[in-house]
């Protein structure tokens, strides 16, 4: 679909990043341009050495955790809910609601409850207020640093 110094873009690259299949040639071109721009941004960032930035490592870790959550949710909640939904009406499951989303809510709650029990999750509410105050101070400090760094670049 496209070539650039350091790589190429294939049809799969375009289809993999968008949950919506392009309905016409204009949408396809727009998705191709977006993917190309992402590739060029990433290439330029690597050439600038930004792959060594501590912020990148934090973001990659966040993305990894989010992806693991999504995969776990798919396997433990969505697939089980779909199986239950498809078998609704059989004797043992006749009490389940006929709406797939309601079934997902039920399965999700059961799964989350089982994880809380398995990992013995307990909240220490004694320090919530002090933690909230500390988080507010840290957030203000972060915003001030970002503001100062933007002003320094101007």
Per residue in 95-121, pLDDT (tens digit) is 566 688 888 999 999 999 999 999 999
Determine the pLDDT at residue 6: 79
Determine the pLDDT at residue 57: 86
Q: How far apart are CA 83 and CA 100, in angstroms?
A: 10
Region 36-64 average pLDDT: 90
Determine the pLDDT at residue 96: 61
The mean pLDDT value of the chain amounts to 86
pTM metric for this prediction = 0.53
* pLDDT for residue 8 is more than 70: yes
Q: How far apart are CA 15 and CA 35, in angstroms?
A: 10
Give DSSP secondary structure letters for 113-137. Answer: HHHHHHTT----GGGHHHHHHHHHH
Region 53-77 average pLDDT: 91
State both tokens at 126: 């004694």
């Amino acid at each position: 679909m496209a070539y650039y110094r350091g790589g190429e873009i294939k049809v799969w690259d375009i289809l993999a990043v968008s949950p919506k299949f392009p309905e016409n040639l204009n949408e396809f071109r727009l998705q191709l341009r977006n993917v190309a721009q992402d590739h060029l941004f990433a290439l330029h960032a690597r050439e600038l050495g930004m792959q060594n930035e501590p912020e990148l490592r934090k973001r990659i870790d966040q993305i990894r955790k989010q992806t693991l959550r999504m995969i776990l949710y798919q396997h433990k909640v969505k697939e089980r809910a779909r199986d239950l939904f498809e078998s609704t009406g059989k004797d043992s499951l006749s009490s389940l609601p006929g709406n797939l989303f309601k079934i997902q809510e039920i399965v999700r709650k059961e799964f989350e409850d089982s994880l809380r029990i398995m990992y013995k999750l307990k909240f220490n509410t004694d320090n919530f207020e002090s933690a909230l105050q500390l988080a507010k101070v840290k957030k203000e400090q972060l915003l001030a640093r970002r503001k100062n760094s933007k002003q320094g670049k101007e």
